[in-house]
Amino acid sequence: MRQGIKAAICFLAAVLLTFAGLDRWYGAAKENRGYSFLLEDPLSLDEALELAEQNQKALEKAKEEEASEEGIEFVLWGQQEGQILSEPDYGKRTEADILYCSGDANLLFAGQNLADGNGGGCFLDEETALKLFGTANAEGREVKLQEKTFRVKGILTGISSTMAISVTRQWITENTVQTNENSQDERSIDHIYVPKSCGKTAAEAGTLLRNSYGLNGQMMDMELLIGISGALLLFVPMGLYLTYAAWAFREIRRGTPIRTNRSSKGSRRKEAESLGLAAAQALLLAAVTWMACRFFLGILQIPADYLPTKWSDFSFWSSLFREKAENIRILLGGEKGAMEWKVLEQLGEAAILGALAFLLFLAGRIAFLKGKKTREEKTANRTS
């Protein structure tokens, strides 16, 4: 197989893999609508519900009085894995992870147009609903967990094996007797989720939670992983752009004559045509450069937390590196919910596709250069 065909196949495969990776990357970025914090000291269901009620009252009061005090919406949640759910009428059973939500569960599943997530009931994912009821249209149906019946308020899409419960005071009271008989209550709340619509950065949200509610949480830095996977996906577009820019620059220089014979009408016409082609190439290069910059900057969005207040502060970068390394450790090692796993899986796939695309691009570039060298050697042999 000729080197040119090999290069073309490698370049085409690299572009296709990049598009596939970008599709997963955009999906992850779209799902990442908030900031997740892992609590240093987990809360009981009762403590979490009390904080959620306190926050809701504070937000309502601030809205009524148009107070200038800062406040943010948040939902506290914890996860209990591998619980058995059953359908009361026919006894169908399946296993799912249970998310206990104190506050509006809709904040955790933003964009899914669910019912009110503040008072009782539960949300089921489509896969679990199909296993229990034979249909994904299960709103209004009942499901049992530990002999307690919940009414399905909405269906979750894009995740699997998940049941989200909106914890209420009544439910906690009814379940206190059951949990007291056990040596340990596994239903602790150890996560906080703050939507980006609050208008705060992750650092500002963490500070506000700590100062206003005494909640010390370590951030699960999804933004960093989004940036890393996005950077991997930019290698091929950047390589293609630089290849085109180098070729266009050579064509512009070649089409701009340094010396011309102005005594010949044909020479002047040829000069004008060359200048016109060079100008067209320059305009096209400028347009492609503008679009490439918009594309690259659209993916590599740098949060304000990543930039120093003073560029002369060299200690900022070392402390930032340590902080982000710790955030990655927490993110990869901490307990994650269904939505976080979904984002991580998409980012992992995007990063792998980006790396494979870059390797194919390099292979194509090597094949192209080998083919070019072979052609030059053949031309030299003919002339000699």
**Dihedral over alpha carbons 286, 292, 294, 297 (to 10 degrees):** -130
Tens-digit pLDDT string for the chain (384 aa)? 577 788 889 989 999 999 999 999 988 888 888 888 988 888 888 888 888 888 888 887 777 766 555 668 899 999 888 899 999 888 899 999 999 988 888 888 876 766 665 566 889 999 999 999 988 888 889 999 888 888 898 898 888 889 998 888 877 777 664 544 444 455 788 899 998 888 888 888 888 888 888 888 888 888 888 888 888 888 888 888 888 888 888 877 776 554 444 555 566 677 666 777 777 777 887 888 888 787 777 777 667 777 777 777 778 888 888 888 887 888 777 777 777 888 888 999 999 999 999 999 999 988 888 888 887 777 777 776
Q: Are residues 365 and 303 in the same domain?
A: yes
Nearest to 182 by CA among 39, 52, 49, 80: 80
> pLDDT value at position 184?
46
At a CB cut-off of 8 Å and minimum separation 6, what does 147 contact? none
At a CB cut-off of 8 Å and minimum separation 6, what does 193 contact? 34, 35, 36, 37, 74, 75, 76, 77, 107, 108
Domain boundary pick from 187, 216, 250: 187
Domain total in the chain: 2
Q: Are residues 140 and 105 in the same domain?
A: yes
Residue 201 lies in a domain: no
Q: Are residues 123 and 265 in the same domain?
A: no
Long-range contacts of 177-180, Cβ-Cβ distance < 8 Å, separation of 24 or more: 178/146
Q: Which domain holds residue 298?
A: 3-30+226-383
Domain boundary pick from 187, 218, 239: 187
Residue 204 lies in a domain: no
Domain boundary pick from 187, 212, 247: 187
Residue 165 lies in a domain: yes
Residue 36 lies in a domain: no
Q: Are residues 262 and 115 in the same domain?
A: no
Residue 113 lies in a domain: yes
Residue 183 lies in a domain: yes
Q: Are residues 247 and 309 in the same domain?
A: yes
Q: Are residues 11 and 103 in the same domain?
A: no
Q: Are residues 156 and 11 in the same domain?
A: no
Give the orientation angle of helix 338-383 with respect to helix 222-233, to 10 degrees: 20
Q: Are residues 181 and 274 in the same domain?
A: no
Residue 243 lies in a domain: yes
Q: Burial, 191: exposed, middle or buried (Cβ in 10 Å; 0-12, 13-18, 19+)?
A: buried
> pLDDT value at position 182?
47
Which pTM does this prediction carry? 0.74
Q: Are residues 18 and 49 in the same domain?
A: no
Residue 104 lies in a domain: yes
Q: Are residues 240 and 366 in the same domain?
A: yes
> pLDDT value at position 177?
45
Q: Are residues 90 and 123 in the same domain?
A: yes
Q: Are residues 102 and 8 in the same domain?
A: no
Nearest to 47 by CA among 257, 291, 288, 213: 213
